[in-house]
A and B are shown apart, each in its own frame.
Chain A
Amino acid sequence: MINKVGVLLMVLWALVGCDPVPSTQGFAGLGSDATGFAQVEPDAEIDYPEALNQHSDYRIEWWYVTANLESESGETLGIQWTLFRQASSPSPQREGWANQQLWLGHVGLTRANQHFSADRYARGGVGQAGVEMDPFTAWIDHWSMRANDEAATQFTLTAQTPEFSYDLALANVGPSVLQGNQGYSVKSPQGQASYYLSLPFLQASGSIQIGDEQFSVTGDAWLDREWSSQPLAEDQEGWDWFSLHLDQGDKLMLFRLRHRQSQDYFSGTYISADGTAYPLQPNQIRMQPLRQHSVAGRRLPVEWQLTVEDVGIDLRTQALNPNAWMATGIAYWEGPIRFEGSHSGKGYLEMTGY
């Protein structure tokens, strides 16, 4: 009997050299041409919980959960749970192993002095990863997010890696929020856009294990749902993304898309505690990097000055752990932050393309 492991591992090495998504255009290929896929149009009706379902006609989408947590002893922690879907070719969907959907899972855990990340790869068609409805379930291997009811008001979020695991209950205590123009979120002056819905009012509770340490945690969580076929412009090389829980109960989402050749593109939404969304125009937003930090051989801004004068926002943010580098196949910075200034609170920052 002969074992082909050697060959396979060599092949693996070669494969690891390439990203699971073609990355020639924009960050992680998000700016690639989307011919043959469904296109994002304004004035589409986006309903919840249907928005949680997968949209296979679109090239790419993600389910993105971050949570700012605190343990019983008062330690601050943050977790991330993300499922990406990318289609290598448009519909019709092929059956079994021939299926064109590729799935990618990322999980992260951050505390002040530690940061862990892990990723999982899968292809569609065989049940290793996917999204189902009634009730909503999204999974890759044994990492999953499932709704306990068909209305998707309660979720269970789990992930296990050799270093850490978490098992959280998420209760949606507020409305779902459509970002941009009724869920049509423009990403560049050329009009690239995605459908974008958030659940910013998730209350999290549950347990985290890091090695032998066990934590009981509670806190605020945020789900982003986004799907598109070409969310980025070709010359956009990355973004800086904030989701902020203001202590008074309001929420704020801000992002900056960095262009190689032209001016950066800004967008955001101010969400009052009752769930009313106030879309922000690019010229209303100022995002100023303050302190740079070296991590994984790159320099990234881990402190920011965020200003939206029209809604009285002037914040200075600070990373809980400046080394929150996601050392995954597609690598980026993602970690919990605190902020002070006109308001105080906590949130999550994601920085890609550095």
Chain B
Amino acid sequence: MQSRLWDIGTDIGGTFTDILAVHTESGATRIAKVPSRPDAPVRAMLEAIAAVGLSEPDVRRFIHGTTRVTNALVEGRLPKVALISTEGFEDVLEIGRYRRTELYRLDVPPKAPPLVPPALCFGLKERLDHTGAVLLPLSEAEIARCVEWVKASGAKSVGICLLHAYANPVHEKQLMEALAPHVPHLCVSHEINPEAREYERASSTAFNAAAMPVAVDYLTELEEKLPIGPGLQVFHSAGAMVPLPAVKRRPLVMAMSGPAAGVSASARIARSLDRPRVLTFDMGGTTTDVCLIVDGVAEMTDTRMMGGRPLRQPMLAVHSIGAGGGSIVKLGSGGLSVGPESAGSEPGPACYGRGGTRATITDANAVLGYLDPEAKLGDTIQLDVAAARAVIAPIAEKLGMGIEETALGIVRVANAAMARALRRVTVERGVDGRDCTLLAFGGGGPMHAVGLADLYGLNEIIVPAASSAFSALGCLTADFSVLQQRTIRMPLDDFPARAFADRVAEMEAEASEPLIANGIPAAEIGMEHTALMRYAGQSEAIPVPFAMPLDPGVLHAAFTGRHQELFGYATAEQVVIESLRIQARRPSSTPVARPDVGRAQKPARTRDCVFAEGRLPTPILPRETLTDAVQGPVIIEDAWSTVIVPPGWQARGDAIGNLFLNRSAA
């Protein structure tokens, strides 16, 4: 009796749920796309499993990426959450940091409303200092007062964020113990984000507390419908898988789950194809995500804004911009611009024929002939090129240009927005982006990749196998890992070697515990150590990897070299290790082969397309049958995506379905 032979990865996006199933013995791979169901996500997942011809008893591992929990918060669907802070700091979430992002707007745009309203913020009498010393002990009477308040508040979930808890968690622990019996969901800042600066830590803790009720309900339902125990896993924002019990305590780790899975799959390809510098380019309907991968490892970041609120935890440094296929084109006083306003999925671009009346990037692509006018998108939408021309015509008229010329301009402006995102992730890390390989996936990535590469000066593009369900693939191929990060503030002069080693050991134990609990032998778990370092006077720390036992001299030299790379100078000032980041990991065991898209491909044909060189008859080739190198102009299609190869570029495939695009020899 053969059962449970399939490993499944899924990425639950706003419009579609992508699924990719791999047979654990044969390596056979199946891909499908089904509509997402924001109201019934677990049902959508079971439908996705059915769409690849499987059912629950076939599943061995099920790993999914989803941003639905954090999306719910960003969209304002908030459960009743309370925040406990040190007395005097009850308004910490509402005040924030004072800064605004639009300088010259007269009526200052409102701040995102705090995740916890003022009436549900409680000030606790207690106080520590920045060394962790107790200045005002937390009394039993104060604990009792707080417990009574929480009971009376009706809060479903409580976040606790006390001043300087990153330096000493004693009061948070005391309070957590006392509150646990009285509230369904509870989290503490020293677990969620044990780092200094109270607003960012409180915001992250409140995010987590708000996410807990939604996440726990959803994950519990999933466990019931897919009773495969430790095989059920979630993809986390730092680019790996975590077991469900850990996610229930820290649902915040799912914040960038889907995009992180795509980056993780990219890192694997970068390693297997031996590309030292890779930029990922994941262009969807409303946003585009990019990330830098150096030597097979994706860059990390500590903070990102979500719905106008900071979320601080170690995450893959995925940079998102509000420009995708559905982004609206505008003609302002400065010239043409695209996004961040989007036509969304309703009404969508004009060429979808569902009432869209404003020009989008997708409409420009339709005008240029890049989209198959006979294809049905998602089985329902018939492309309407005339509608696309009609919405671009008024813009062309104002510019005194032809419709096709205008569409080319729109695509260039869109590509420039993408190029800015690429610059952002390379410049901040001191890397010359022009040495990078562009890895293009998602709905729009393969369509815009060459234009972007030309604009940015890149020489190689890879469109990976399974590019349309790439995040789902990433869920399967990523490592199994847990990451801990904590402020320690230790100077490198008079280095406290013993205290440092103790702290590392402690954090290693914390990071490996969820993996061991999930059945992974301790001997198979590898550890990665990173010190976040700065000169004594600075505030921003830069990551420097190290090995144990630590040689402070080696670490100092590594830091100095990195500072020189990033800022162009280094000095003799004292150096501090601000934080420690420890990652426990075990590689994935899922084999992956060339995917079967499960649909018959259309035969080769020819269509007129418009490029900068003019209107050219362009062969349209099915991706599956592509073997030899082909010269642009050519369009390569599979069931879910379109790869544009303009004149001057060529494409070739490899045995497992990757496409390589380069400039043609002159």
The judgment on whether A and B are partners is: no
